[in-house]
Amino acid sequence: MLTIIQIPVLIDNYIYLIHEPVSGETAVVDPALAQPVLDILDKKGWRLACILNTHHHWDHVGGNPELKQKTGCRIIAPQSDRDRIPGIDTGVGEGDVIMLGACPARVIATPGHTSGHIVYHFAEDNALFCGDTLFAMGCGRLFEGTAEQMWTSLQKLKALPASTRIYCTHEYTQTNGRFALSVEPDNPQLQQRMEIVNQLRSKHLPTVPSTIEQELATNPFFRENSLELQAAINMRNRTPIEVFAQIRRLKDKF
Ligand code: ZN
Ligand code: FE
């Protein structure tokens, strides 16, 4: 069983420490900053084996150089982003498997937010580290990809076991949920989820991780097949990708 520690940093970023107790190996996912990671490693007495980056944006790789210099860790990141990832050692892509001690993680390519975006799936622990591809009730903006690419990427995540926990990199849930309600106001599971989210956020508590099951029921970017949603945005009898693209455009303006 992995130990996962969530570190809130900057305005709404999460860094994740993943510790594999049998080998004692520790990884960090998307370190925006180095110091908060170093502080916890120090407190726990853990040694950092590797950094796992999902994509090249500064709020996901900002801590790479200092962490590598101070801990000697190895940096694993998207091969296709080699030139944009500071300190990269090992480039990985679709289907590659990396080991954290005895625990395997499979790499899934999810282009859309950026062209090289990847996510890390620890199937034995039901944990997905998905960077800025999938958020609680949302998905990443299309900076370097098309709606079709992002839709295809999300289909891969949709197909993971329903109990998979979603460790995304931003606390965007409340704003995402407000948008979700605007396009699917009569979805009872969405209404219930928003009540819980509002309660948690009023106490400044995290709403992440969620699960694939929760996202299937409430995330508009997983729900392009919902007839209520299609009707609400005037997109009946369109292809799933057309509906998805329109949801993304509406969210960009929300
Ligand atoms: Zn990003
Ligand atoms: Fe980000």
Residues 195-207 have pLDDT tens digits of: 999 999 999 999 9
Q: What percent of the chain has pLDDT over 70?
A: 100
Distance between CA 124 and CA 100 in Å, rounded?
12
Task: Please report which ligand is nearest the Cα atom of 15.
Answer: 2
State residue 213 phi and psi, 5-degree precision.
Answer: -60, -45
What residues are labeled active site?
Answer: 55, 57, 59-60, 113, 132, 170
Distance 4 CA to ligand 2 centre (A): 19
Please indicate, yes or no, whether the overall pTM of this predicted structure exceeds 0.95. Answer: yes
Query: In degrees to the nearest 10, what's the CA dihedral of 238, 239, 245, 247?
Result: 60
Report how far ligand 2's centroid is from the alpha carbon of 237 (Å).
34
Among the bound ligands, name the one nearest to the CA of residue 14.
2
Percent of the residues in the chain that have a pLDDT greater than 90, as a whole number: 100
Of 194, 177, 109, the residue nearest 138 (C-alpha): 177
Q: How far is the CA of 234 from the centre of ligand 2 (A)?
A: 30
Ligand 1 center from residue 141 Cα (angstroms): 8
